[in-house]
């Protein structure tokens, strides 16, 4: 079970932090992704983190502005979004990645909407 | 980056008839470990995507057996043997062989005629 929160309406250039609370599985054993979907558009992978000490991997469109992190003690994934742009407007999904013996992208949260507008 | 190209982008189908969606990748999706990491997802209106198929042809738990995935290398296909009303929505292919980034196709919208 994955539950995102933290979305909202913000102005361009500002920041927002998304959270994803995980339950029902051993969170620390799985890589985790953020994937987004702009209104009426397709799916775009945003960021991935395997271990908490990793730097994470990012789409070119968000590199240098977004930071993925996780707190395994709280079973929570985060996405710090800085210098937000109008084109970052999207529903952001938290998605379970891979683990030993488990194929990734099997569980998705309900999504949280981020709207960047002046 | 691996580019994923789906066709058609719109697919009107008759209930009970078969449907087929093509997904082509710009590079081979065969991983050095021998697996091919090609997934299919279904998104109903207003819902989160749901994985249907992983590693080309493995159906997820609870996915009806009317759904099947096939293909190899750069060419892949999702087939629905007999379309039902609940199958409407958008279908996406996605590769996880060469990452980052993980990349999706544009999506194919399936609707009932």
Whether residue A100 is predicted with pLDDT greater than 90 in this model: the reply is no
Residue B19, pLDDT > 80, answer yes
Length of chain B (residues): 113
Read off φ and ψ for residue B86, nearest 5 degrees: -75, -5
* CA pair distance B46, A107, nearest whole angstrom: 16
A45 interfaces chain B, CB cutoff of 8 Å: yes
Q: Of the candidates B48, B50, B102, which has its C-beta nearest A45's C-beta?
A: B102
Nearest-Cα distance to chain B for A117, in Å, is: 22
Task: Name the nearest CA neighbour of A117 among A7, A13, A5, A4.
Answer: A13
Chain A residues touching residue B54 (CB < 8 angstroms): 103, 105-106
The pLDDT, as a whole number, for residue A5 is 98
Query: What pLDDT shows up at residue A19?
Result: 98
Check if A104 contacts B (Cβ < 8 Å): yes
- Report the pLDDT averaged over residues A7-26: 97
pLDDT at residue A69 above 80?
yes
Q: In angstroms, rounded to a whole number, what is the distance separating the alpha carbons of residues B4 and B21? A: 13
Query: pLDDT (tens digit, 9 = 90+) per residue, A29-53?
Result: 999 999 999 999 999 999 999 977 7
Region B7-11: what's the mean pLDDT? Answer: 98
Mean pLDDT of B9-23: 97
> Rounded mean pLDDT of chain A?
95
């Amino acid at each position: 079970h994955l539950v995102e929160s933290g979305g909202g309406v913000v102005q361009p250039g500002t920041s927002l932090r998304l959270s994803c609370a995980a339950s029902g599985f051993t969170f620390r054993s799985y890589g985790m992704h953020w994937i987004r979907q702009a209104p009426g558009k397709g799916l775009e992978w945003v960021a991935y983190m395997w271990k908490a000490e990793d730097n994470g991997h990012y789409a070119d469109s968000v590199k240098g502005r977004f930071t993925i992190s996780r707190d395994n003690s709280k079973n929570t994934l985060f996405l710090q979004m800085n210098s937000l742009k109008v084109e970052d407007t999207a529903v952001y999904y938290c998605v379970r990645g891979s683990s030993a013996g488990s194929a990734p992208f099997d569980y998705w949260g309900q999504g949280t909407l981020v709207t960047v507008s002046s | 980056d691996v580019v994923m190209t789906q066709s058609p982008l719109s697919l009107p189908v008759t209930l009970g008839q078969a449907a087929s969606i093509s997904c082509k990748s710009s590079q081979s999706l065969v991983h050095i470990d021998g697996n091919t990491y090609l997934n299919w997802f279904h998104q109903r209106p207003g819902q989160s995507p749901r994985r249907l198929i992983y590693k080309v042809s493995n159906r997820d738990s609870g996915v009806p057996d009317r759904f099947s995935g096939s293909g190899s290398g750069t060419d892949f296909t999702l087939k629905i043997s007999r379309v039902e009303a609940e199958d409407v929505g958008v279908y996406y292919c996605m590769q996880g062989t060469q990452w980052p980034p993980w990349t999706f196709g544009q999506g194919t919208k399936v609707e009932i005629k």
